[in-house]
Amino acid sequence: MTRLRLTSCALSLGLLALGTARTPARAISALTGTYFKIPVSHPDVQKGIDGGVITGLIASTLGPDGLPVVGAPYGGPSGPITDVNGFGEILWWSAASPNGVLLEKTQIDPLNFNFPTNFFPDGEIDNSHFFRAVHWNGAFNLATPGSINLGLGADDDAFVFIDGQLKVDNGGVKGLTSVPNVISGLGAGNHTLDLFFADRHTVQSGIVFTSEVTLTPSSVPEPGMTAFLGVTALSGAAFALRRRKR
């Protein structure tokens, strides 16, 4: 009797997990976020306040390492940007920075993002010790060519790249500020999306981001796969127990 109950339980859980595993990956509306901590001693923070959106701080395409490339020299309050590698890529989003940038964590973040204030590193009550920088990435699919709507507000810098091309430029040290968000001219099929955020001044920190298309996070297991693997192990244990009881 014990053998029958355990085997039936394992079979039922296995069928449930198989059903869950069939859920399309695009049912997840989220992005993969890689979080960094920029120290207050960093040369690109704690300068002046621009007070509004500054476009052109970064180039129109991502660099060879997948990071934004510094744009034309900026002589305004928050400039210039100096923490770059040999390709001109900005290292606010890299622990390879020689200026003390630290990896904080990597996680899957469900949409929508609504962090208009107090978006500080974990364990911090303000940004007096570290500033937060995040690189989110994922993908989406369009059945037909067309346009999409993205909502983006940031305090301070935020940039959206689609297929490696800059589509939303919301740079500058400022209060939470939104920018136009209609992305046109996209072809049918799969597209990548990279969202970069950086806080650079000790007057709050925040980001708000919405998307009308379903975003699939990068490097995430198929939904239900972890459960399925667990049930597979349970089924194996049930089989071994049944053999021992014979």
pLDDT of residue 62: 98
241 falls within a domain: no
The amino acid present at 92, given as its one-letter code, is W
Q: Where are the beta strands (DSSP E) in the chain?
A: 30-39, 58-62, 68-70, 102-110, 113-115, 130-142, 146-155, 157-162, 165-170, 177-178, 182-186, 189-198, 206-211, 216-217
131 falls within a domain: yes
DSSP bridge pairs for 120: none
3 state SS of 92: helix
3 state SS of 8: helix
Phi then psi for 82, rounded to 5 degrees? Answer: -120, -20
Distance CA 192, CA 140 (A): 7
The amino acid present at 70, given as its one-letter code, is V
Say if residues 178 and 210 touch (Cβ distance below 8 Å): no
Say if residues 58 and 73 touch (Cβ distance below 8 Å): no
12 falls within a domain: no
Kindly report, residue by residue over 156-197, the tens digit of the pLDDT: 999 999 999 999 999 999 999 999 889 999 999 999 999 999
Does the pLDDT at position 98 exceed 70? yes
Task: Give the CATH number for residue 193.
Answer: 2.60.120
DSSP bridge pairs for 170: 158
211 falls within a domain: yes
56 falls within a domain: yes
63 falls within a domain: yes
Kindly report, residue by residue over 100-152, the tens digit of the pLDDT: 999 999 999 999 999 999 999 999 999 999 999 999 999 999 999 999 999 99
14 falls within a domain: no
Does the pLDDT at position 243 exceed 90? no
Nearest to residue 172, comparing CAs of 77, 73, 53? 53
Task: Tell me, yes or no, if the pTM score tops 0.85.
Answer: no
194 falls within a domain: yes
Domain count, the chain: 1
The amino acid present at 133, given as its one-letter code, is A
| 232 CB neighbour count, 10 Å cutoff | 14
Name the residue with higher pLDDT: 203 or 226. Answer: 203
Domain that holds residue 84: 24-221
Nearest to residue 157, comparing CAs of 184, 134, 136? 134
pLDDT of residue 180: 84
Q: What is the rounded average pLDDT for all residues in the chain?
A: 84
